[in-house]
Each structure stands twice: as structure tokens, then as C-alpha cells.
Amino acid sequence: MKLTLKIWRQKSKNDKGKFVEYILDGVDGDMSFLEMLDFLNEKLINEGKEPVAFDHDCREGICGMCSLFINGQAHGPDKLTTTCQLHMRRFKDGDTIVIEPWRAEPFPVIKDLVVDRSAFDRIQQAGGYISVNTSGRTVDANTIPIPKKDADRAFDSATCIGCGACVATCKNASAMLFVAGRIGHLARLPQGRIEAADRVQKMVAAMDAEGFGSCTNTGACEVACPKGISLADIALLNREFIKAHL
């Protein structure tokens, strides 16, 4: 398969950056999208050119590092799929593929396709910890019965991998879906109720301080999320925030 790649190249956050076009021949349909970029970088290195910087880690759809805009869509054309799980058989011979980093002020470009998403870490850290009195020994988690419905919903919220697709897709660069996933996970479990009011206020304050925009419920974040985090979590976040102030 022969492809035309238009890739965003930027030396640092202070550099203007631009799209650079590459012709890549010999792409196998069984390659993952990241393997295709590896293939391109091998070609560039052999030609004495600087390879394209892009983020990756587990390559199993778990870590959220492989965050790219592909033809204007976060993580590419497949729903509920991370970039590393996207395969080149999704494209056709002769296609042009435009590859960009996340576009959001709180996610400054480090280099090329790599952005700094440490703002998410600071928001999560602001939420603090769950205090459980173990009295010197580990408490069996099964001693606290949790209805299956609540456990399933908590698990669904906890599947957020913090990739930032919600922010990059939102017209306001809102981080509400990310924060809602964290809040929704713990708010549905008895262990998370102790610090619930303090947690939601601190995380929302940290989100605002990082410069993320407001949520206007357009739903683009839910569509772009590779783990299917629901807008229902944002509704829960709003309820938790109002309760904390009351």
C-alpha cells in the first residue's frame, strides 16, 4: 500500500510548526497505525533525516499515550479504538492521511506529535486519596457489599485512560469528561464517599486553574472517547459539585 502522509512537525512549543508531506510505500494492512509510523521513521533515519516524534507506551489500548488526530478525528476513524489499536487495513492504497497532535492550550506541544498532558496528572492529584482505616491489617474489600449495578457503573467510569481525546475534540477544550470519569468512579462506591465533597471541589478547581474550557454539552467528548465514557458521568459530576456546595 502506498500512502501520502501529511504530518505536523514542530520542534518545540515555541516553534511555529508546519505540515510536512511524506510518501510511504510498502505499508502492510496488518500494521497498526503506530507500526506504520515506526516504518516511516526507519525510512527517515536511513535517509539521514530526523524521525517524527510521537507518544506511545503499552500499544494495547490501555495507557492512553498514543493520542493523535487522524484525518480530523481523535484516534482515527474507528469508534472505541485507540490509535495503537487502529490498523492500516482501515485505509486504502493511495489514501492521504493527515496526522496532528492534540490541539488545546492546556496541552502544549513538546515536539511534533507529542503534547504535554501533565495537567491531567495535577487534576487527579488534587483529588487526593481515599482514607481507609486498616487498623494495622488489610481490610477485605468483599466485607462491603456493593450492588452490581453500582459496581458496573463505577467500573465503566474507571476505564478512562486519560488520553485527552475529550479535550482535543471539544470546541471549548473542556476536561469535564475526564474529571467526570474520576469522580463517577469513586462517587458510586462507598469507599469514595468519605472525601466526596472535598474531592469534587478540588478537582473542578484544579481543572479551571489549568485553563480548560467550560462544558456546553455538545457531546463531542463522548463520541471521541475510546473507552465510551458517558455524558451521564458529567451529569453525576454536576450533581456532586452542587451537593458539595450545599
CATH of the domain at 84: 3.10.20.30
User: If DSSP codes are grouped into helix, strand and coil, which group holds residue 55?
Assistant: coil
Domain boundary among 54, 77, 111: 111
Report how many domains make up the chain: 2
Domain with 75, as residue range(s), is 2-111
Rounded alpha-carbon distances, angstroms, from residue 48 to 35, 41, 42, 100, 210 = 20, 10, 10, 23, 39
Residues 137, 214 within the same domain: yes
Instruction: Give the whole-angstrom CA distance, residue 119 versus residue 123.
Output: 6
| Residues in a beta bridge with 70 | 73, 99
CA 221, 226, 231, 237 dihedral sign is negative
Residues 165, 216 within the same domain: yes
Domain boundary among 88, 111, 134: 111
Residues 167, 240 within the same domain: yes
Region for residue 64 given its phi and psi (left: phi exceeds 0; alpha: psi -120 to 50; beta: otherwise): left
Q: Is the pTM of this model over 0.95?
A: no
Residues 133, 164 within the same domain: yes
CA 212, 158, 54, 22 dihedral sign is negative
One pLDDT digit (tens) per residue for the chain, 246 residues: 999 999 999 999 899 999 999 999 999 999 999 999 999 999 999 999 999 999 999 999 999 999 999 999 999 999 999 999 999 999 999 999 999 999 999 999 999 999 999 999 999 999 998 887 666 676 676 678 889 999 999 999 999 999 999 999 999 999 999 999 999 999 999 889 999 999 999 999 999 999 999 999 999 999 999 999 999 999 999 999 999 998
- For 175, the grid coordinates are 476536561
Domain boundary among 82, 111, 140: 111
Residues 143, 107 within the same domain: no
